[in-house]
Amino acid sequence: MLTKIKKASPEVFYWVAYAGDTTLLMKQAKEIDFNPKLFLSVAVNFPQYKSSLGPTGDYVAGVDVWIPGMKLPETVKWMEKFNKAYPGRTPEYWAPLAYSNLMTVVEAIKRAGSTDKEKLIAAMEKTDYNSPMGRMTFKKSEEGGLHQAIDEQIITQWQSGVSYVVYPPSKATGKLIYPTPEWKKR
């Protein structure tokens, strides 16, 4: 498949895959000398990414909602607690998401003074705070969802073994390197 895609000479190669697929795909891209100007996916910030790819994983960009290196004050505080509780482990976004969800519901129950569905929904709709995931509010989404909480994704890029947020500018911890250097020039 990658050989066929390489023949088309795409400027950007965007794929949606699981972590294992991403690892295999990047190793094969290097093997066949496939050099788009940008590799972009959704599965590039899993804990084993760096150890499974090493330098082969550099310059790959990913769409995500959170990474441990985000410089939001609440993320930094949450990461300090996580690192103390689980030294040497790297969390995926599921961990701060679960924490944020739980805290949001607990606070909404306190504000509602009840677990009654309608009172709880009304309290949740008034949620507005900074969580480890970023600002947490509930609103209608452009796609028709009634209570969308996390509506801003980030784009990251691996550079020298570190995943940096390269977009949006308000959350950036690095700048996008584009075009990706060809395999032979790395």
- Per-residue pLDDT reduced to its tens digit, 12-28: 999 998 889 999 999 99
Whether 79 is in a domain gets the answer yes
Q: What is the mean pLDDT of residues 80-101?
A: 94
Residue span of the structural domain in which 39 resides: 2-65+153-185
CA distances for 50 relative to 23, 57, 78, angstroms: 10, 7, 22
Residues 83 and 49 placed together within one structural domain of the fold: no
Whether 18 is in a domain gets the answer yes
Q: What is the mean pLDDT of residues 100-127?
A: 95
pTM, whole model, 2 decimals? 0.87
For residue 151, pLDDT over 80 is answered with: no
- Number of domains within the chain: 2
Where does the pLDDT of residue 86 fall: very low under 50, low under 70, confident under 90, or very high at 90 and above?
A: very high
Beta-bridge partner residues of 38: 12
Alpha carbons within 13 angstroms on the beta-carbon side of residue 163 total 26
- Sheet harboring 38-41: ordered strands across? 12-15, 38-41, 60-64, 154-159, 162-167
